[in-house]
Amino acid sequence: MSVREAGQKGGQTVKKKYGPEFYEQIGRKGGLATKQAHGHEFYEQIGKKGGKKGGEATRDRYGPNF
């Protein structure tokens, strides 16, 4: 079993035990902690970098009319 497969198996076990809402809660906590530590500008910076790169990759893969 690979590390990736083990991680997926563990994630499925947690999902069965606590439900998908558990991941929503910890995601919100992590997002809030990141916002408090880095501020709103941090999200703007990563959004600009990721959004542009992701948009360009999608355009290149599927064409401009996608």
The model's pTM is: 0.50
Compute the distance between CA of residue 30 and CA of residue 33 in angstroms, rounded to an integer: 5
**Model pLDDT for residues 7-61, shown as the tens digit of each residue:** 999 999 999 999 989 999 999 999 899 889 998 888 888 777 766 667 778 888 8
Say how far apart CA 63 and CA 58 lie, in whole Å. 7
Nearest to 48 by CA among 38, 36, 37, 40: 40
**Look-up of token digits 């703007």:** 44
